[in-house]
Amino acid sequence: MTLVRYNPLNNFVPGTFGDFIESVLRDAPARKDIDFTPAVDILKEKDHVELQLVAPGMSKEDFKIDVDQNSLTIRGERVLSDEAKTKLQKRESNYGKFSRAFKLTDDINQEKITATYVEGILKVKLPLIEKKETKSIIEVK
């Protein structure tokens, strides 16, 4: 195992130009009223799609989820406590308002969408509409 000395400037000097562009686009909020963009993983199962939004240190009341015209929007705000503000020596995590929007496909059952927040991850379950296979036999005349 090799020990590597921590250098805070490493975060400012990307390995390639592509890494630089990606970091700028990833970290830049799309709107002025948005402070950061939390990471989201999207998983597809046989009967549903699940969005997993990483947002540690929040409570379920901090989220607002809207579904409108085939669009799902997750909004929230992660607030730094006054106690943490006075003791904070270095901050690497994000705080402030955020918003993420997702286009819903026609095979999502919008009436049965559910959300849970456990251990810092907001899980939004998007059930798929069951496709009924219709099989018919056509008589040849």
Higher pLDDT, 114 or 133: 114
Give the CATH number for residue 95.
Answer: 2.60.40.790
First-to-last alpha carbon distance for the chain, in angstroms, is 78
Q: Do the domain assignments include residue 9?
A: no
| CA angle (41, 53, 105) in 5-degree steps | 65
Is there a domain that residue 13 lies in? Answer: no
40 part of a folded domain: yes
pTM exceeds 0.75, yes or no: no
- Whole-Å CA distances, 40 to 37, 48, 52, 81: 9, 16, 5, 24
8 pLDDT exceeds 80? Answer: no
Identity at 122, one-letter amino acid code: L
Q: How far is CA 45 from the centre of its chain?
A: 17
Structural domain count, the chain: 1
Token pair for 133: 């296979």
Q: Is residue 61 part of a domain?
A: yes
Per-residue pLDDT reduced to its tens digit, 65-116: 999 989 999 999 988 877 777 887 887 788 889 999 999 999 999 999 999 9
